[in-house]
Amino acid sequence: MTDRTPGATPPAVPGTTPVGTGTGRPAPEPFGARLRRAMDTRGPLCVGIDPHGSLLTAWGLDDDVAGLERFTRTTVEALADRVAVLKPQSAFFERFGSRGVAVLEKAVAEARAAGALVLMDAKRGDIGSTMDAYARTYLAPESPLFSDAVTLSPYLGFGSLRPALDAAAAAGSGVFVLALTSNPEGAEVQRATAADGRSLARVMLDHLAAENAGATPLGSAGAVVGATLGDVGADLAINGPLLAPGIGAQGATPADLPRVFGAAVGDVVPSVSRGVLRHGPDVSALREAALRFADEVRTAVAGG
């Protein structure tokens, strides 16, 4: 039985497990399987690493590279050995240039070494060789920013994401594709109607379902669906994970998840950032906040 005492360290979740490929070479275990195990053992929760200037100030840190490094190191130390997923927001590191990216590289490596799955929140979307370069940045095992998954924007056409989808499959990584986001501006694109009458969000969800066909226990191609949307008006059963930002400071609560996600609630990866991070820089307080959210999500999903 897992020790659920605040501050207790959950069991480690291995990063990859070799499986047979039929070629004599081991292949990495797919992200979907690793994510399912991580959520089952550590709790269904993703915590964002979002070093806003205001959060750095609230922690008593300067809004500079030294403050960024201290903030990030403390968050990784507090959470990487006990939460299922850590989600660094790349933009908050990139704003400091190469020194900020160096902090991000170290955070990714240390979080993965401690057993957390790292989801790089980069929202990349492009075509051809440029998309291939983004894929190599986040999904090639030799890259210093190699992550377990990355967020992608599909609105240059889902097919434009193929380099990232193929790179993720080869590396045992995953992707989370923007489908139904919670920002008000998103509706003008995501709710628009395609030539066949489907909404563009529905088109993206259908593509993801096709990518995940036959995968067990969970596919590796996920969708981003805002937890603040209420009735999304769409079937979310894509046999893949559903990243649900908006828990905590943005107004959604774990109790909202069954209403928003319906029968797919068991595949939801709720994401909280400020709701946990505001409890820093105290390591114990960060851990207790994350544990509390994970337990609330477990209760909501079980009741849903």
User: Could you tell me if residue 89 is left (phi over 0), alpha (psi between -120 and 50 degrees) or otherwise beta?
Assistant: beta
Question: Tokens at residue 205, please?
Answer: 């969800």
CA distance 221 to 241: 7
Round to whole Å and give the CA distance between 78 and 84.
13
Residue among 268, 269, 255, 240 at smallest CA distance from 304: 255
Q: How far is CA 129 from CA 74, 135, 136, 161, 290, in A?
A: 37, 10, 10, 11, 39
User: What amino acid positions are annotated as catalytic residues?
Assistant: 123
Asked if 178 and 152 count as a contact pair (C-beta separation under 8 A), the reply is: yes
Whose tokens are 């998309």? That residue is 131
Collapsing DSSP to helix, strand or coil, 80 comes out as coil
User: Please, are residues 76 and 113 in contact by the beta-carbon 8 Å criterion?
Assistant: no
Three-class SS of residue 279? coil
